[in-house]
Amino acid sequence: MAKFPDTMAFTGVNTPVRIEGDVFDLEVEGEIPSDIDGAFFRVSPDPQLPPLLQDDIMFNGDGMITQFRFKNGKVNFKQRWCQTDKWKMEREAGHALFGAYRNPLTDDPKAKGHYRGTANTNAFFYGGKLYGLKEDSPAVAMDPNTLETFGYTDWDGQVTSPTFTAHPKIDPETGNLCAFGYAAKGLLTKDMVYYELTPEGRKTKEVWFEIPYYCMMHDFGVTKDYAIFHVVPIVSSWERLEAGLPHFGFDTTKEIHLVILPRDGEAKDVKIFTAPNCFASHVMNAFNDGTRIHFDTPEARNNMFPFFPDVHGAPFDGPASASRLTRWTVDMNSNSGEFEKRETLAQFVGEFPRIDDRYAMNPYRHGWMLGFAQGPNGRASLAHIDHATGTEDVFHAEGASTLQEPAFFPKSGKSDEGDGYIVQVALRNEEKRADLLLFDALKVGEGPIATIRVPMRLRFGLHGNWVDGVHLDRAAAGQSSLGGVPTVAPN
Ligand code: V55
Ligand code: FE
């Protein structure tokens, strides 16, 4: 009989949902433009079974995928777990076999040698498939229409790394997938591998290299000419795992680095830049102007993860965890080894940055970010940041609602940058249900143009993406050659 711990991670708003199901034709307040055809996918960590240990962190829950399918002004809802090997083994055993987050020393012996991935970090569409992603394991392929799980993929043996990032990028020009693995020669190793794959699934690039120290390599930046890896001291060690400490801790005494690989280069061409300590995780976008590289990331003075505490024992510092969008600039022609600039781009305090993905890797104008509720009466928020005018247009959620990561899609493939919609999940915590909000992307401050009502609770979610209906229809017809950015119909 399942009994979840009576702790923060499993009670109140964090009570596991564990419901797979379908709702045909969700209730809508407002009007959904009838020409919207596509789906929004998002993933939320949602434990199938009570944890093996007494407690667990949210980042260790099994990936539950939600699909909101828009067509003819209506929205259908579908929710399924991504059936990882862990999920299947634990379902068969009837209880948890895998222990603490990223600590195999805590596992049941039956788990030994199996991927520990939970596929709980991103629901990412590419080349006709949906991928459930967790950075400690390979990608899990799924059917984007039915949400049936196919299983782990190594792209026909071409991708040998035991890890695959939860934040791959699509090159809007070539249609290629740019991705990496870290701890790529085993747990806690400094080894990295960078891959590029074509929409047909052919590997065109593979470079192995090392970073200065092992850390959480959660996201990266890609420009037309460079792949950019930010090394920030969310660190670990075998001593931590043996002591049963959380896998990661933050080390304020270490410098940060940008490790830069030319996309047409090899390991010997990697250049490393160094800057004073700070915290940064997600990347809004990056682009290069010749050898000058701009890398936009929400930067905080200190750790943003209270569950990955300071390695030297300092208490969590709330105000210092506030992040603002910051542009890091380096020049590959410089031999100083230092950043050229570190410039705050917006005053909005937030994370989960998104863009119009048709402008990924290129100079761009528009970005969107999520703001967390601060203080007892604080409200969650959504900001549109216009880099051209310097304006920040902010929407504040009602009452006890929490918001999740926004996703953008254009009105059509020919629309100007930013001329489109934002979708964003809102948890109505007091009512124990959720909404999907639909905004005009350039007028988020005016509030949603439609509110799509989900008649049940959803859980804290991580990343999600919009996929144009043409991609989904082609995938249903078994056509897998689907280049380009999935928010627009392929050519
Ligand atoms: C993040 C989320 C994860 C993870 C590592 O920054 C980093 C987000 C949901 O799991 O394993
Ligand atoms: Fe992430």
Residue 84, classed as helix, strand or coil, is: coil
pLDDT of residue 78: 99
Round to whole Å and give the CA distance between 338 and 353: 25
Answer whether residue 74 shows pLDDT above 80: yes
Q: Which residues of 372-406 are buried (b: 16+ CB within 10 A; e: fewer)?
A: bbeeeeebbbbbbbebeeeebbbbebeeebbbbbb
Which amino acids bring their CB within 6 angstroms of ligand 1?
45, 59, 120-121, 135, 218, 281, 462
Q: How far is the CA of 216 from the centre of ligand 1 (A)?
A: 9
For tokens 């209880």, what's the residue? 95
Say if residue 482's pLDDT is above 80.
Answer: no
Question: What pLDDT score was predicted for residue 376?
Answer: 76
Tell me, in angstroms, the distance from the centre of ligand 1 to residue 225's CA: 27
pLDDT score recorded for residue 377 = 82
pLDDT digits (tens, 9 = 90+) for 361-380: 999 999 999 999 887 788 99
So what's the pLDDT on residue 399?
Answer: 86
Residue to probe by mutation, ligand 1, list 46, 137, 218, most atoms within 8 Å of CB: 218
Check whether 481 has a pLDDT greater than 80. Answer: no
Residues 376-398 pLDDT 10s: 788 999 999 999 999 999 999 98
**88 backbone dihedrals φ, ψ, rounded to 5°:** -70, -40
> Tens of pLDDT along 9-67?
999 999 999 999 999 999 999 999 999 999 999 999 999 999 999 999 999 999 999 99
pLDDT tens by residue, 257-270: 999 999 999 999 99
* Model confidence at 165: pLDDT above 70: yes
pLDDT in tens, 391-426: 999 999 988 899 999 999 999 999 999 999 999 999
- Ligand 1 centre to CA of 181 (Å) is 14
Report the alpha-carbon distance of residue 443 to residue 180 in Å, rounded: 35
Residue 247 vs residues 5, 39, 238: alpha-carbon distances, Å = 20, 35, 9
Ligand nearest to the CA of 183: 1
Tell me the C-alpha distance between 364 and 484, whole Å: 18
> Rounded mean pLDDT of 122-133?
97
How far is 119 from 462, CA to CA, in rounded Å? 11
The C-alpha angle with vertex 205 and arms to 135 and 331, in degrees rounded to 5, equals: 85
Closest CA to 180 of 170, 166, 165: 165
Query: Comparing C-alpha atoms, which of 329, 182, 163 is closest to residue 258?
Result: 329
Q: Model's pTM, two decimal places? A: 0.98
Ligand 2 centroid distance, CA of 285 (Å): 13
Which atom of ligand 1 is nearest to 102's Cα? Answer: 11
Strand, helix or coil at 328? strand
CB half-sphere exposure, 135, CA atoms < 13 A: 25
Lowest mean pLDDT, pick from 219-228, 326-335, 481-490 = 481-490
Nearest Cα residue to atom 9 of ligand 1: 59
Report the mean per-residue pLDDT for the chain.
97
